[in-house]
Each structure stands twice: as C-alpha cells, then as structure tokens.
Amino acid sequence: MVSPGIDLLKGEIPIEQESVVLHEDVVTGLVLVDIINGFCTVGAGKMAPREPNSQISRMINESERLARLFCEKKWPILAFIDSHHPDKPEVPYPPHCIAGTDESNLVPALQWLENEPNVTIRRKDCIDGYLGSTEDDGSNVFVDWVKKNQIKAILTVGICTDVCVLDFVCSTLSARNHGFLTPLEDVVVYSRGCATFDLPLHVARNIKGALAHPQEFMHHVGLYMAKGRGAKIASEVSFHAPKKP
Ligand SMILES: [Zn+2]
C-alpha cells in the first residue's frame, strides 16, 4: 500500500518520466551501481536488507534483464562495486563491504558478468563512482571507459537512488558539462532499475545517530534530484534497431 505521504510528495515534486528508446547506432553504456550483496542480499551485512524487499528485488531483476540485453549486443557495461579497506571506515556509515568479503561481491543474479568481455568492474572505496574511479596517477577508469568506447549515452541503474546513484549522476553531469566526457551526451536513470534502503522513522529513532530513511519517499527524492541536475528519468527502456538499407 502506498502511504498518503508518498502521494503528497509526488504531488509536490512530480517527476516527468520518459519512455527511452536506445538506438542501436548510438553507443550506449550501462552503469551498474553497487548491486552487491552488502546492499542487496538479505542478512548479508550491516547495510543489507533485513528481510526481502520488493523495491530491491525489482531493481536486481531489471538490472539483470538489461545486463543480458547489453551483453547480447556486446555493448559496454561498467559495474561499480563498493569495496572498503577494514582500517578506512566510511563515515557516517557503519563498517560495510570490506574488500575480500562476500558483501563486496555482485549479487548472485549478476555474478556471471565477471566473465563477460564487454564488462568493466570497478571496485571503489567512495560513495561517488566518478571520484572512486580515480587512479593514483590521476587517470580515471570511468572517463577512460567513456572515451575508449565512444559512449554517447549512459543508462544508470543500481542502489541507492538517493546516495551512490545520485552522486555518480551529479558528478557525471558536471564533468560532461565541463567537456571532460566527450562524446557523452545523455545520462539516463532508469527508475525501475534503481532502489534505496528502508529505515522508517520509528526504527531510526531507536538507533543512535541514525537518520530516518523511508524507502519510497527517498527513492522519489533521489530521482527528482537527478532530474534537476539534467538527467533523463526513464520509466521504461526499449531498443530500436536501425532499418537495413
Ligand atoms: Zn561504502
């Protein structure tokens, strides 16, 4: 059941979503943000869901469906994996996704991606995948991926809509606007392919220092913020093959 608060929010900050068609003659890259056990698999860690969650399940299903289509077409995929050194906590979050643990692995439905030639995996110890792609020598794995593949559009899915997805999208849009990501034009966020965590107010009140994080509400806000920065928000994604002459 959708709460009246969500309807109120959607009335105050409505999001115009689009039906996005991916043309096969325009190179599109799929970016998977942190679809890993530590954020998605029930009981996998401090930041994983405690019980099955329909928004997260939908996100995984939609991401897997798109990943299979992109692999069939041999289109580029970049998968971010949150991965932290045990001695470097990421404030304000509790310890999570420590490198080498199963928390810091793709969810079972996506593990096959590790063997696909069109897939780049980037382990990052940073909320923002753009910043987290920076190497010691100053180069950036994400920027290089866009340029090497001559990507003109990015389709983004993953978790959390209002945290890692939003930060990545905002940085990417700023970088695009500054000419760092040529030939990238469009940054698309697929709403059904994104999810966020659920920490209702009555639960957060009993956790010292925790901020309430109602799931549907924050998912909507995340999409709205991404839209405000210039992303396209897609309610559905389809593919269009060019006509053979
Ligand atoms: Zn993290």
Ligand 1: centre distance to CA 89 (Å)? 8
- Render pLDDT for 63-87 as a digit per residue (tens, 0 to 9): 999 999 999 999 999 999 999 999 9
Cα(245)–Cα(239) distance, rounded to whole angstroms? 19
What is the pLDDT, as a whole number, of residue 4? 78
Is 244's pLDDT higher than 80? no
Helix (H/G/I), strand (E/B), else coil: 123: strand
What is the pLDDT, as a whole number, of residue 92? 86
What is the pLDDT, as a whole number, of residue 137? 97
What is the pLDDT, as a whole number, of residue 2? 63
Ligand 1: centre distance to CA 96 (Å)? 6
Phi, psi of 77 (to 5 degrees): -125, 135
Phi, psi of 169 (to 5 degrees): -65, -45
Q: Is the CATH number of domain 28-149+158-237 3.40.50.2000?
A: no
Ligand 1: centre distance to CA 113 (Å)? 21
Residues 77/33, Cβ–Cβ less than 8 Å: no
- Region at 138 (left for phi over 0; alpha for psi -120 to 50; beta for the rest): left
What is the pLDDT, as a whole number, of residue 195? 98
Cα(91)–Cα(217) distance, rounded to whole angstroms? 23
Ligand 1: centre distance to CA 135 (Å)? 17
Ligand 1: centre distance to CA 160 (Å)? 11
Stretch 200-209: mean pLDDT, rounded?
A: 90
Please provide the distance, in angstroms rounded to a whole number, between the alpha carbons at the two ends of the chain. 50
Ligand 1: centre distance to CA 234 (Å)? 26
Ligand 1: centre distance to CA 128 (Å)? 9
Cα(218)–Cα(147) distance, rounded to whole angstroms? 33
Ligand 1: centre distance to CA 19 (Å)? 31
Ligand 1: centre distance to CA 155 (Å)? 22
pTM higher than 0.85, yes or no?
yes
What is the pLDDT, as a whole number, of residue 13? 95
Ligand 1: centre distance to CA 48 (Å)? 12
Ligand 1: centre distance to CA 34 (Å)? 9
Ligand 1: centre distance to CA 145 (Å)? 22
Domain range annotation of the chain: 28-149+158-237
